Amino acid sequence: MDVSGKAKQLFQLKFTSKQFTRMSKKAKKQEAAQRRKLKKAIEDGNTEGARIYAQNAIREKNQSLNYLRMGSRIDAVASRLQSAIQMKRVTKTMAGVTKGMDKALQSMNLEEISAVMDKFEEQFSDMDVTSQFVENAMGDSTQVSAPVEQVDSLIQEVADEHGLEVSEQLGTPSLSQPASTAEADAEDDLTARLAALR
C-alpha cells in the first residue's frame, strides 16, 4: 500500500474514531434522559415504568462505554498507521539524501527499517479482524435486558439522589419478570452458542 492509500486510511480511521466519540456522548445524554424518566416514574409509583427506564438507562450507559472503548481502539490503530506513514516518508527521504553514500547506508541498517515496515503492513491486513471485533462489541452493547440487580441498584440510586422513597413494589420483581428471565436465558444460550463457534 502506498503512502497516499495509507493517508486515506488514516483519515478514515480518525473520522470513525470521532464518530464513536460523538455516539458515546449521545448515548450518555440518552442515559441522563432515561434517568430523569426513572425519577418521574419513582415519584409516580409506576413500577413497570421505573424498571423499563432503569433498563434503558443501563443499556445506554453500556453503549456509551462500548462506543468510547471502540473509539479508543480505532484511535490507537490510527496512531500506528500515522507512525507507519511517517516512517515510510522518513525512509524515502533518507534514501534520497544518502544516494551515493555507501557508508551512510550501511550504518542505517535498512533491513531493520524494512522489517518494521513489513510488520506495519501485516497489521493492516489484520484490519478485518478489527472490524469483526467492532461488530461483536456493538452486538454486545445492544443487549435488550439488564440484570435485575443493576436495575434495582439504579432505581435505588436515583431515588436516593432525589430524596425519594422506593415503594415496596419497586423493590421486588414484577409479575412479568419470568418472561424477561426466559428472554435473558434464551439470549445467554445464544451467547454461549456464539462463543462455541469462535
Domain boundaries, the chain: 3-197
Mean pLDDT of 63-82: 88
DSSP-assigned letters across all residues of 62-73: HHHHHHHHHHHH
Q: What global pTM score does this model have?
A: 0.52
Determine the Cα angle at 23 with ends 76 and 71, to 5°.
5
Most confident of 20-24, 104-108, 110-114: 20-24
Least confident piece of the model among 13-17, 88-92, 97-101, 165-169: 97-101
Cα(159)–Cα(168) distance, rounded to whole angstroms? Answer: 13
- pLDDT at residue 195, rounded to an integer: 63
95 vs 55, residue with greater confidence = 55
The yes-or-no verdict on residue 132 having pLDDT over 60 is: no
Q: Please give the share of the chain, as a percent, with pLDDT higher than 70.
A: 53
Q: If we measure between CA atoms, which residue out of 153, 141, 147 comes closest to residue 68?
A: 141
- Residue 124 CA, distance from chain mean position: 20
Mean pLDDT of 125-145: 51
Q: What would you report as the CA-atom Rg of the chain, rounded to the nearest whole angstrom?
A: 26
Cα(44)–Cα(31) distance, rounded to whole angstroms? Answer: 20
Cα(147)–Cα(154) distance, rounded to whole angstroms? Answer: 11
The yes-or-no verdict on residue 68 having pLDDT over 80 is: yes
Q: In this structure, what C-alpha cell is assigned to residue 165?
A: 422513597
The CATH class given to the 3-197 domain equals mainly alpha
DSSP reduced 3-state for 172 = coil
Asked if residues 1 and 121 have their Cβ atoms less than 8 Å apart, the reply is yes
DSSP reduced 3-state for 80 = helix
* Helix intervals (H) in the chain: 3-44, 47-97, 102-108, 110-125, 127-141, 148-161, 168-171, 177-197
